[in-house]
């Protein structure tokens, strides 16, 4: 009985510590006396469902004792059973494989051997601070038996020695993706109330980016605004290891309902309205990070310098001198230079009748030239006070077919619509996602939506 137990437990240990390769290959005639000194976290043994953990520990120590007192060792198992030790090191800045291993007593020869097995993939030379090296070595000889580079919870590279050579193996784990629903009502701020509802800061930023084309999160939020999200959370062994994408989201701002659904086409993954319009707009609402609006769009304004009624056909964004001014949309530079009251000015033509104008600039970006193309968000110039200006600000005009529109309120066109063949597949998907989101809404949330529809 003791014999079978020992065999069983040795095999169990061998399996749990992946040292099975070292224990096989001996013929019964090799077996003499055995001292077993295996450093294994005992909870590993508990994987045997048949026997309780405590029993195993007792049995094991009994068995080991009995082998040292001369009871024959099971056939075919061990000679000079090596004592193994498993050690871990966290990679720090400036560390290298040889530095870490030699610090733990591994020979240059073994370091060389394991490095040469890594020549192609270069995983070990590219290891980064914060990653973990775990290695098993012979406790008596310091011989390196195996090495693991734990790159992340999901990716480990395993190097194992056989016939004096190391071979590597990449082990990739797939997290379980769980869909999570959260909703929140704003009473303090997006972040305070969002975090309180259990939504991470990065998730809130992502949501603000999705709806940022329609809602100015710095100015437009109202107490009582509500939002709901359906997003991915990644789990590994029952533990959350992070978040994935927002799949669907709804934001109720100042009585208006916005909805976005993530969808992948050949152009990549983007967010769309339930009708298939891009959430992204052809134009940025504001082409500069401003401190305040110093003068509104006003066709009947009294001019601050001339004290006469002069229409203000744009909006003035106060910002410090040198603040980058961005192209509000993709387009062509049709003017770059000086114009009387405007001072330094850039005019962009965006096609389809849209033009934008940027005035009182301190200077221009070196990358733009008349007739050249610019991308949405690209820095074209810098805030200044040239022309008739009482302080540094950007004067911004938005024209459609030559008519001035209020840049703050003009309805901005959506980005390129989805291709027809994509739209056909998207629409039923969007409907499914929208109803999924709706099915999670709390009674309060539903009441709020119902009151808006009245
Ligand atoms: Zn102005």
Question: 17-39: per-residue pLDDT in tens?
Answer: 333 333 333 333 333 333 333 33
Distance 315 CA to ligand 1 centre (A): 6
338 Cα: distance to centroid of ligand 1 (angstroms)? 15
Structure tokens at 56: 């195993």
Q: What residues of the chain score a pLDDT lower than 50?
A: 1-73, 75-78
CA-CA distance, 443 to 226, in Å (whole number)?
13
Same domain? 149 vs 68: no
Q: Is 420 among the domain residues?
A: no
305 and 319 belong to one structural domain: yes
Distance 122 CA to ligand 1 centre (A): 58
pLDDT reported for residue 234: 94
CA of 396 to the centre of ligand 1 (A): 7
pLDDT at 295: 82
Q: What is the pLDDT of residue 443?
A: 95
CA of 256 to the centre of ligand 1 (A): 30
Distance 163 CA to ligand 1 centre (A): 79
Distance 355 CA to ligand 1 centre (A): 16
- Predicted local distance difference test score (pLDDT) of residue 80: 59
User: Cβ contacts of residue 226 below 8 Å, gap of 6+?
Assistant: 183, 184, 185, 186, 251, 252, 445, 448
CB 36 within 8 A of CB 17: no
The CATH number linked to 371 is 2.70.70.10
| Predicted local confidence at residue 454, as pLDDT | 67
- What pLDDT shows up at residue 79? 53
**One domain for residues 195 and 138:** no
Distance from the CA of 297 to the center of ligand 1, in angstroms?
A: 8
Q: Distance, CA 311 to ligand 1 centroid (Å)?
A: 10
- Looking at residue 192, what is its pLDDT? 94
Q: State residue 171's pLDDT score.
A: 95
Residues of the domain holding 128: 84-172
Give me ligand 1 centre to Cα 387, in Å.
Answer: 11
Across-strand partners of 331? 374
User: Which of residues 131, 148, 172 is at a domain's end?
Assistant: 172
Compute the distance from residue 221 Cα to the ligand 1 centre, in Å.
26
314 CA → ligand 1 middle, Å: 6
Instruction: Give the three-state DSSP class for 136.
Output: strand
* Full-model pTM: 0.61
- Shared-domain flag, residues 155 and 233: no
> In this structure, is residue 262 part of a structural domain?
yes
pLDDT of residue 63: 36
Task: Look at residues 203, 238, 272 and tell me which one is the last residue of a structural domain.
Answer: 272
């Amino acid at each position: 009985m003791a014999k079978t137990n020992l065999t069983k437990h040795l095999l169990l240990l061998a399996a749990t510590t992946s040292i099975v390769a070292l224990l096989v290959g001996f013929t019964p005639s090799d077996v003499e006396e055995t001292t077993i000194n295996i450093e294994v976290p005992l909870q590993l043994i508990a994987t045997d469902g048949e026997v309780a953990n405590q029993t195993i520990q007792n049995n094991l120590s009994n068995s080991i004792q009995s082998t040292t007192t001369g009871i024959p060792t099971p056939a075919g198992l061990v000679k000079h059973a090596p004592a193994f030790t498993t050690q871990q090191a966290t990679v720090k800045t400036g560390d290298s494989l040889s530095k870490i291993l030699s610090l733990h007593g591994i020979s240059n020869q073994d370091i060389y051997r394991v490095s040469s097995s890594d020549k192609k993939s270069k995983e070990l030379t590219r290891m980064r601070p914060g990653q973990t090296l775990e290695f098993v070595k012979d406790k008596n000889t310091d011989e390196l038996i195996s090495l693991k580079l734990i790159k992340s919870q999901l990716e480990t590279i395993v190097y194992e020695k056989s016939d004096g050579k190391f071979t590597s193996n990449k082990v990739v784990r797939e997290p379980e993706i769980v869909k999570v629903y959260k909703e929140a009502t704003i009473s303090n701020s997006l972040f305070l109330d969002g975090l309180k509802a259990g939504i991470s800061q990065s998730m809130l930023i992502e949501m603000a980016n999705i709806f940022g084309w329609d809602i100015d999160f710095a100015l437009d939020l109202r107490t009582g605004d509500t939002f709901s999200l359906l997003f991915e959370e990644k789990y590994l062994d029952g533990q959350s290891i992070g978040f994935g994408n927002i799949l669907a989201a709804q934001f109720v701002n100042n009585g208006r309902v916005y909805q976005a659904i993530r969808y992948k086409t050949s152009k990549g993954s983007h967010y769309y309205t339930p009708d298939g319009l891009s959430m992204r707009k052809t134009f940025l609402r504001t082409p500069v990070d401003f401190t305040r609006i110093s003068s509104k769009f006003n066709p009947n304004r009294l001019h601050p310098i001339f004290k006469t009624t002069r229409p203000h056909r744009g909006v003035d964004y106060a910002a410090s001198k040198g603040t980058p001014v961005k192209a509000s949309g993709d387009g062509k530079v049709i003017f770059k230079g000086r114009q009387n009251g405007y001072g330094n000015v850039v005019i962009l033509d965006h096609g389809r009748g849209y033009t934008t104008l940027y005035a009182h600039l301190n200077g221009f970006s070196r990358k733009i030239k008349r007739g050249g193309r610019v991308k949405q968000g690209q820095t074209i110039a810098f805030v200044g006070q040239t022309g008739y200006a009482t302080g540094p600000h950007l004067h911004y005009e938005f024209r459609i077919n030559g008519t001035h529109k209020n840049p703050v309120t003009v309805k901005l066109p959506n980005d390129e619509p989805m291709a027809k063949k994509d739209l056909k597949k998207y629409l039923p998907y969007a409907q499914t996602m929208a109803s999924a989101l709706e099915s999670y809404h709390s009674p309060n949330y539903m009441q709020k939506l119902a009151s808006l529809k009245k």
